[in-house]
C-alpha cells in the first residue's frame, strides 16, 4: 500500500513537471517537483495534512497549466491522479492508525476497485467533456453555480 501511495505522488508531481517542461515553463516544472517532494516528505513523516495540501496545490497547478495552454487531456489526467493519490494517502493513514484490520486484503481490494471505477469513469466522462462544445448563457451559468453551492451545502450539512 505504501509503495502505491508513493508511486501515485511521484507520478502526480512528475507528470505535471513533464508537461510544464515540454512547454518550457520551467518555473511550473520546478514548482511541481518541489510540491511533489514536499507531499512525499509529509507522507514519510506521517503528516497527513500534506495530502490535503497536495490536493489543493496540484489542482491549482493544473488550472494554471490550462491557462498556460498545456494539453487539456494531460491536465485532466493530472487531476484524476491527484484525486487518487489524495484518497489513497488518507486511506493508508486510516489503516496505519488502527491497530487491527480484519480482512485487510479484501478491504484494500474493495477500496481500490471502487476508486478505479471512479477514475475510469472520470477519464471517460472527462474525455467526452473535452470533445463537447457547450455554449452557456447567463441563466445556465447561474444555474450551474447554484448547483455547486447547493452540493457544497449538502455535503457540509451531512458532515456536521
Show the site string, 81-100: x = touches another protein by CB under 8 A, - = not.
--x--xx--xx--xx--xxx
- 4: contact with another protein by CB under 8 A: no
Window 46-75: residues binding another protein (CB under 8 A): 52, 55-56, 59, 62-63, 66, 72, 75
Angle, CA of 25, 3 and 1, to the nearest 5°: 130
* Helix/strand/coil for 23: coil
* Cβ–Cβ under 8 Å, residues 25 and 17: no
Q: Does residue number 1 form part of the binding site for another protein (CB under 8 A)?
A: no
Cα 147 from Cα 150, distance rounded (Å): 5
Shortest distance in whole angstroms from residue 133 CB to another protein: 8
Three cell numbers, residue 95: 489503516
Residues 111-150 that bind another protein (CB under 8 A): 111, 114-115, 117-119, 121-122, 125-126, 129-130, 132-134, 136, 141, 144-145, 147-149
Count of beta carbons in the 10 Å neighbourhood of residue 121: 11
C-beta atoms surrounding 119 within 10 Å: 17
Q: Residue 56 CB: number of other CB atoms within 10 A?
A: 11
CB closer to another protein, 3 vs 100: 100
Q: What's the length of the chain?
A: 160
105 is an interface residue for another protein by CB under 8 A: no
The 3 state secondary structure assigned to 67-85 is HCCCCHHHHHHHHHHHHHH
Where does this chain bind another protein (CB under 8 A)? 52, 55-56, 59, 62-63, 66, 72, 75-76, 79-80, 83, 86-87, 90-91, 94-95, 98-103, 106-107, 110-111, 114-115, 117-119, 121-122, 125-126, 129-130, 132-134, 136, 141, 144-145, 147-149, 151-152, 154-156, 158-159
Amino acid at each position: 500500500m505504501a509503495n502505491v501511495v508513493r508511486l501515485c505522488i511521484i507520478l502526480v508531481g512528475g507528470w505535471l513537471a513533464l508537461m510544464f517542461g515540454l512547454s518550457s515553463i520551467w518555473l511550473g516544472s520546478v514548482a511541481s517537483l518541489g510540491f511533489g517532494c514536499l507531499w512525499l516528505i509529509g507522507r514519510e513523516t506521517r503528516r497527513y495534512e500534506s495530502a490535503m495540501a497536495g490536493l489543493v496545490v496540484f489542482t491549482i497547478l493544473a488550472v494554471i497549466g490550462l491557462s498556460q495552454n498545456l494539453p487539456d487531456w494531460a491536465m485532466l489526467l493530472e487531476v484524476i491522479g491527484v484525486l487518487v493519490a489524495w484518497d489513497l494517502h488518507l486511506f493508508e493513514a486510516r489503516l496505519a492508525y488502527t491497530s487491527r484490520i480484519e480482512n485487510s486484503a479484501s478491504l484494500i481490494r474493495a477500496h481500490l476497485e471502487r476508486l478505479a471505477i471512479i477514475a475510469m469513469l472520470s477519464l471517460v466522462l472527462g474525455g467526452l467533456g473535452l470533445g463537447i462544445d457547450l455554449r452557456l448563457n447567463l441563466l445556465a451559468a447561474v444555474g450551474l453555480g447554484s448547483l455547486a453551492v447547493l452540493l457544497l451545502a449538502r455535503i457540509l450539512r451531512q458532515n456536521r
